[in-house]
Structure 1
């Protein structure tokens, strides 16, 4: 696995330490949407959003953005690090490294993320004029030790407890140190960061008589593969149970074979898994999607040289 996953903690209450809602708009888009778009520009996948307070509103707001939702059910009585643990545990065996951030730091460039990713370090923190900021890059082989930490110093304490040297990457990106409630400062740099969001975005679908597969259907299959349950998959992607089965039935009708296998009853209840044919189709779609997006990105910047 050479991919880089992303974790965005957006679980805290609005009034926590003067915090700002992840749905608060800076410019024309919300804080949380801005972070996700920046992550996607840097080809970070999968992206996990940890919700808590306003979870339903956040999930509905981001339903079409190919992100996975994990809820901290105890958000009102736990710390930010407890939310981070939920995301770290979920991604630890799904990628090589993770970019971790809080929704309280909403504005930095995808170029900064790409620089962090390319360092190939165990643990690295961006800094601006000597001040450490967010997001952090964490190698997945550190996660087991990090989540074992139960002290009171949060992520900083967890990192210090594992005895690894924390390295810093100096970047020309003031956004890594700007909090979401520093409205005047963010307004002053808003146009610069908006310009940096310009990028090609390709939506890839497969049709027969009608559309039957796209990135949302891909996420549904990936989550069924992970959870062995359509119901739990739906919970992680803000999708109704009935809609999920409609998508699966349409998929199978168009492809001419079963994509999922159902197991009913028994002591442990029913399970849903992908069939071998379903797994093969999903793998081919992911390969096709990756190839198309790489081609589109390269040729976009070859043609529109002024936006590099």
Structure 2
């Protein structure tokens, strides 16, 4: 089983408003991220909420996802990752970490990463676009205990450095893997891309 953890608990401090709730077309950013995941070979989607959780929850309540709340979201991304990890299915063999502000990642790209993980023996599979490593990243469930020990405002980046010799980088034709929304300029750029 491949389980996806969507990290969507952040406070969007640089943007000044919850980026998960920003509109892109007929949907919000978080709805687009979830819809893309649900259209892939991922078998379980866990969405970790924190800041403005009740508003986001209303938007995604009808989706086939498990929602969990990170009461410690102000302490950084690692707390959301741990919250998501505590909810994954015991049969999970791969953990796909998805950022809640990456609506442009194509479902084909996600499936490509899953297929590369299943075909290989590497502990980690990550996309690369024009030489830049991006997200989402797939981690072997064998790394779960180490992922639960991460602290601070980072995801599992330190494991990427630690296991650099056991990473498969997959070159993709999808700029969405390196595009996330941190500022108003990013959001305006996103609107230009989709229109």
Q: CA deviation at 1:33?
A: 0.5
Match of 1:149 in 2: 150
Structure 1-normalised TM-score? 0.56
Cα distance in 1 for residues equivalent to 2:89 and 2:164:
19
Q: Work out the CA distance in 1 between the residues paired with 2:152 and 2:73.
A: 17
Equivalent residue for 2:38? 40
1:188 equivalenced with 2:192 (yes/no): yes
Give the CA deviation at 1:183.
2.6
Gaps of 5+ in 2: none
Q: Write the mapping of 1:212-227 to structure 2, written as runs, cut at 5 A.
A: none
Deviation (angstroms), 1:100: 0.7
1:102 and 2:99 are equivalent in the alignment: yes
Mapped pair 1:139 → 2:140: yes
**Structure 1 residue 151: deviation in Å?**
6.5
Q: TM-score, normalised by structure 2?
A: 0.86
Q: Secondary structure at the match of 2:46?
A: strand
Q: What is the alpha-carbon distance in structure 1 between the residues aligned to residue 176 and residue 58 of structure 2?
A: 27
Mapped partners of 1:41, 1:152: distance in 2: 29
- Structure number with greater CO (CA < 8 Å, separation at least 6) is 2
Structure 1 runs (4+) greater than 6 angstroms displaced: none
Q: How does 1:32-181 map to 2 (within 5 A)?
A: 32-76=30-74, 78-91=75-88, 93-119=90-116, 120=118, 121-150=122-151, 154-161=155-162, 165-180=166-181, 181=183
Q: After TM superposition, give the deviation of residue 162 of structure 1 in Å.
A: 5.6
CA contact (8 A) 2:41 2:114 kept: no
Q: CA-to-partner distance for each residue in 1:234-292, whole Å, 9 max, x for gaps?
A: xxxxxxxxxxxxxxxxxxxxxxxxxxxxxxxxxxxxxxxxxxxxxxxxxxxxxxxxxxx
Provide Cα deviations, 1:167-220, integer angstroms capped at 9, x if missing partner.
Answer: 2111000111112241343233315xxxxxxxxxxxxxxxxxxxxxxxxxxxxx
**1:139 Cα deviation from its structure 2 partner:** 1.3
1:153: Cα distance to partner? 5.4
Larger radius of gyration: 1
CA distance in 2, matches of 1:85, 1:159: 17
Q: May I ask how many residue pairs the two structures share in their alignment? A: 187
